[in-house]
């Protein structure tokens, strides 16, 4: 019995000692750090550890941040929708003041949408559902764009918003001072038109300097066709700087632009234009078959913009497409018009070979004009002889012109040839002017073409072109191309 009591007292004493020790030790959960102090005089000897034989486990991949879900707004773009409803009810075309109201409404609506649905502190790549929803919510026709871009090196979040509304600008939105800022993308020539519709938008490094440029288009609708305005901008602290501009008319066939790697500059892109090549200095018409024209524009750092590097006219491609047949008459007309272009520009030496090719080509193909069609090789022979005389090569010119004067008795072409010889006389100063005036008096060409009289000279030839003298003024004074048209 006594032994049991001693054992109980011993147990109680041990428990009491443990309680006292626990009370004297600070709790780790309260911030105390348990340490074992090293001996001040004895340093442990370093021991080589055996090499590990355990298999290294792969580092687990970080779980990607889930994209931010789209927010459904009750009445997105309400101001713009109200403007469209009001204009639709009123009918007609909005004036300049009303188009300004449209621009302000679209900017205010876009700002409100961005504030409500697009986060400023999250990369746009992680907000694709929200951006897609915004594009679907844009007012106007289907096909609106919300395009994340990287135009400015000092801006983290930026995009282009393009609603398909006639007369509405595309908008550039970006983060500045932790809030959204919005500015319109410049209009072509700064002219606002209700028939001008935002089109394609893309962003690429076109100059090869590592910075992206903005390519934005507007489409101008019209009664017999439409045209695309293509613009390339660089974004700087001063705003948008125009690096390239082209007017692509889809009036006599389709005109296009493409971006291709520039073979002359690493990392740069060249702008290639393809279009119906119309002869403004020739005998041509919208409804005729045209060869495909091609221009290549390349970045020129020296002048700070794109400049024309290549131009060609492809007689093997119709501007109406690969399925369009190119006839012998088409080729002969194109050859003559190449000669006409140079003739009317005053470059007689360059014009001569084109007329000669037309004559030779017709002989090789044994070509004869169909009824009511122009006789292109006959006219080419006349113009070739005329140029020889105008260049002072009198003997060659007379020898070439006299057979034409005799070939078609009673036909205006033969009458013109004889009149030119008579007016030219023995040559000398003013001979060419006298010869052309003699042609004008000898044949009433205006009556001939207006009444569609038969003969060698038929549509699309005309009196003005046949009696042309001097040098034609330049058809364009713009530094930028305007293609697919006679302008």
126-180 pLDDT, tens digit per residue, is: 999 999 999 999 999 988 999 999 999 888 899 999 999 999 999 999 999 889 9
Same domain, 399 and 422: yes
Does residue 80 form part of some domain?
A: yes
pLDDT above 90 covers a percentage of the chain that reads 74
Nearest to 376 by CA among 332, 408, 313: 332
Does residue 278 form part of some domain?
A: yes
For 198-256, the pLDDT digits (tens) are 999 999 999 999 999 999 999 997 777 789 999 999 999 889 999 999 999 998 999 99
Residue 58: pLDDT over 70: no
**Predicted pLDDT of residue 224:** 73
Report, as an integer, the average pLDDT of 15-19: 33
Summary mean pLDDT of the chain: 86
- More confident: 273 or 22: 273
DSSP 120: S
Q: How many structural domains comprise the chain? A: 3
Strand 239-250, strand 482-483: pairing: parallel
Same domain, 373 and 459: yes
Question: Across the strands, what pairs with 292?
Answer: 276, 314
Residue span of the structural domain in which 446 resides: 347-466
Collapsed DSSP state (helix, strand, coil) of residue 97:
helix
User: Dihedral sign, CA of 424, 428, 433, 437?
Assistant: negative
CA atoms of 335 and 363, how far apart (whole Å): 14
Decide which of 153, 184, 215 is a domain's last residue.
Answer: 184
Same domain, 255 and 205: yes
**The tokens of 79 are what?**
């101001």
Same domain, 200 and 257: yes
Same domain, 319 and 373: no
Q: Is 225 left (phi over 0), alpha (psi -120 to 50) or beta?
A: left
Does residue 459 form part of some domain?
A: yes
**Predicted pLDDT of residue 416:** 98
Does residue 31 form part of some domain?
A: no
Residue 32: pLDDT over 70: no
CA atoms of 212 and 152, how far apart (whole Å): 8
**Predicted pLDDT of residue 61:** 53
Same domain, 227 and 284: yes
Same domain, 196 and 324: yes
CA atoms of 317 and 424, how far apart (whole Å): 41
Decide which of 134, 168, 184 is a domain's last residue.
Answer: 184
Does residue 32 form part of some domain?
A: no
Ranges of H-type helices in 323-347? 328-344
For 358-403, the pLDDT digits (tens) are 999 999 999 999 989 999 999 999 999 999 999 999 999 999 999 9
Q: Which residue has the tokens 């008579």?
A: 422
Cβ atoms 299, 306 nearer than 8 A: yes
pLDDT above 70 covers a percentage of the chain that reads 84
Does residue 298 form part of some domain?
A: yes
Residue 34: pLDDT over 90: no
185 by Cβ neighbours in 10 Å (0-12 / 13-18 / 19+) ranks as: buried
Residues 6 or more apart whose Cβ sits within 8 Å of residue 412? 443, 445, 448, 453, 455, 456, 457
Same domain, 453 and 479: no
**Predicted pLDDT of residue 156:** 86
For 96-128, the pLDDT digits (tens) are 999 999 999 999 999 999 999 999 999 999 999
Same domain, 286 and 398: no
Decide which of 128, 158, 184 is a domain's last residue.
Answer: 184
Does residue 50 form part of some domain?
A: no
Does residue 44 form part of some domain?
A: no
Same domain, 209 and 179: no
- More confident: 190 or 335: 335
Q: Is 209 left (phi over 0), alpha (psi -120 to 50) or beta?
A: alpha
CA atoms of 304 and 71, how far apart (whole Å): 43
Same domain, 230 and 284: yes
Laid out side by side, the sheet with 291-300 consists of: 256-261, 269-276, 291-300, 305-318
Residue 22: pLDDT over 50: no
Residue 26: pLDDT over 50: no
For 40-57, the pLDDT digits (tens) are 333 333 333 334 333 343
**Predicted pLDDT of residue 20:** 32
Same domain, 180 and 103: yes
């Amino acid at each position: 019995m006594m032994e049991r009591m001693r054992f109980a007292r011993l147990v109680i004493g041990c428990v009491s000692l443990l309680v006292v020790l626990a009370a004297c030790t600070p709790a780790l959960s309260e911030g105390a750090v348990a340490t074992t102090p090293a001996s001040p005089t004895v340093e442990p000897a370093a021991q080589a550890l055996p090499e590990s034989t355990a298999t290294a486990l792969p580092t687990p991949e970080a779980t990607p941040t889930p994209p931010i879900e789209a927010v459904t707004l009750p009445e997105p773009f309400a101001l713009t929708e109200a403007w469209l409803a009001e204009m639709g009810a009123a009918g007609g075309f909005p004036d300049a003041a009303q188009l300004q109201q449209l621009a302000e409404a679209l900017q205010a609506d876009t700002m409100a949408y961005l504030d409500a649905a697009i986060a400023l502190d999250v990369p746009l790549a992680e907000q694709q559902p929200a951006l897609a929803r915004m594009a679907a919510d844009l007012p106007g026709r289907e096909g609106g764009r919300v395009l994340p871009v990287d135009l400015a090196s000092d801006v983290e979040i930026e995009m282009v918003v393009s609603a398909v509304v006639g007369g509405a600008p595309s908008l550039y939105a970006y983060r500045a001072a932790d809030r959204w800022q919005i500015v319109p993308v410049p209009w072509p020539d700064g002219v606002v038109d209700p028939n001008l519709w935002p089109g394609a938008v893309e962003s690429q490094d076109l100059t090869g300097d590592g910075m992206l440029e903005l390519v934005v288009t507007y489409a101008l609708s019209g009664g017999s066709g439409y045209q695309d305005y293509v613009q390339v901008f660089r974004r700087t602290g001063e705003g948008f700087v125009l690096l390239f501009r082209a007017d692509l008319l889809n009036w006599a066939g389709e005109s296009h632009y493409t971006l291709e790697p520039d073979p002359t500059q690493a990392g740069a892109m060249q702008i290639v234009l393809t279009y119906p090549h119309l002869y403004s200095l020739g005998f041509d018409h919208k409804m005729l078959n045209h060869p495909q024209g091609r221009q290549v524009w390349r970045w020129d750092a020296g002048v700070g913009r794109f400049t024309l590097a290549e131009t060609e006219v492809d007689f093997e491609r119709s501007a109406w497409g690969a399925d369009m047949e190119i006839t012998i008459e088409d080729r002969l007309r194109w050859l003559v018009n190449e000669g006409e272009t140079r003739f009317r520009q005053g470059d007689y030496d360059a014009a001569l070979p084109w007329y000669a090719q037309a004559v030779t080509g017709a002989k090789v193909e044994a070509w004869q004009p169909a009824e009511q069609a122009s006789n292109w090789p006959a006219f080419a022979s006349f113009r070739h002889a005329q140029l020889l005389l105008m260049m002072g090569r009198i003997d060659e010119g007379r020898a070439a012109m006299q057979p034409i004067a005799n070939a078609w008795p009673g036909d205006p072409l033969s009458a013109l040839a004889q009149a030119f010889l008579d007016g030219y006389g023995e040559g000398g100063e003013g001979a060419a002017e006298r010869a052309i005036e003699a042609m004008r008096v000898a044949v009433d060409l205006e009556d001939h073409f207006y009444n569609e009289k038969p003969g060698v000279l038929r549509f699309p030839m005309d009196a003005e072109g046949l009696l042309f003298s001097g040098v034609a003024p330049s058809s364009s004074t713009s530094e930028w191309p305007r293609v697919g048209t006679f302008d």
